[in-house]
Copies of this chain bind each other. A is one copy, B any other.
Amino acid sequence: MRISELSRRSGVSVTTIKYYLREGLLPPGRQTSATQAEYDDEHLRRLRLVRALTGVRGLSVSTTREVLDALAEHTGDTHRLLGLTLGSVRLSEESAGKAPEAGEVDAFVKELGWDVHESAPARATLAETLTTLRSLGVPVDRHTLLPYARLAERTAVLDLDQLDGLTDPLETAERALLLTVLLEPALMALRRMAQENESARRHTS
């Protein structure tokens, strides 16, 4: 299909598609003349993925490219692929400096018995959150975090169960990425609503 049809079917403007092409978020089409190129369903699928990552999660163009590169580059055994895919996705656009709580987080992960890569960005995110909460006077320590971590283990079982039955490694990695990144707002929405419900349960007679 022409770029105009790609635009119509994806709902993304031609200008934005050209921008994604320039930035390498979308692979080039098949050149049919000096000024025209043909695009296929794979482009349409990729375009939807880019829109999901930049829209729902508000990822920057450069982070989105990192995520897509991680997805494209790695093949091999499923765990390695999942680890790399999930690990490559930074949790926020914040630059991850070494927070003072980094050592505490490492000790906590060890206490949990979790098999997590040394350089997983999630470690830094957790450490930064502890730093921030404490600077605001909210007491959070390993005793506070432990029950949350146990619930996270059960959440992860649900997440991984959804990959059961997928055999193609690239498809598995893409699904894992979508579930990890795109399900986050939904899980936080469920938490907000559950809080409201729990608050009502406790405070109304």
| A interface list, Cβ under 8 A from B | 45, 48-49, 52, 55-56, 58, 77-79, 82-83, 86-87, 89, 91-94, 109, 114-117, 120, 122-123, 125-126, 128-130, 132-133, 135-136, 138, 140, 144-145, 147-149, 151-160, 162, 175-176, 178-180, 182-204
Contact = CB atoms under 8 A, between A and B. Distances in A.
A125 to B, nearest CB: 4
Given A56-B132, A117-B196, A183-B133, A160 B86 contact: no
Contacts of A117: 196
A22 to B, nearest CB: 24
B79 A202 contact: yes
Q: Is the interface of A mostly helix, strand, loop or mixed?
A: helix
B199 A82 contact: yes
A159 B195 contact: yes
B56 A196 contact: no
Contact of A152 (B145, B191, B201): B191
Given A153-B198, A157-B198, A195-B86, A183 B56 contact: no
Given A117-B196, A151-B154, A156-B198, 12 more contacts: A49-B136, A52-B135, A78-B199, A83-B199, A86-B196, A115-B201, A120-B196, A122-B193, A125-B189, A147-B158, A155-B191, A156-B197
Q: How many copies does the complex hold?
A: 2
A195 B180 contact: yes
Nearest to A125: B189
A58 B93 CA distance: 8
B94 A56 contact: yes
Contacts of A116: 193, 196-197
A132 B58 contact: no
B156 A186 contact: no
Contacts of A162: 144
Given A79-B203, A92-B185, A178-B138, A192 B86 contact: yes
A197 B115 contact: yes
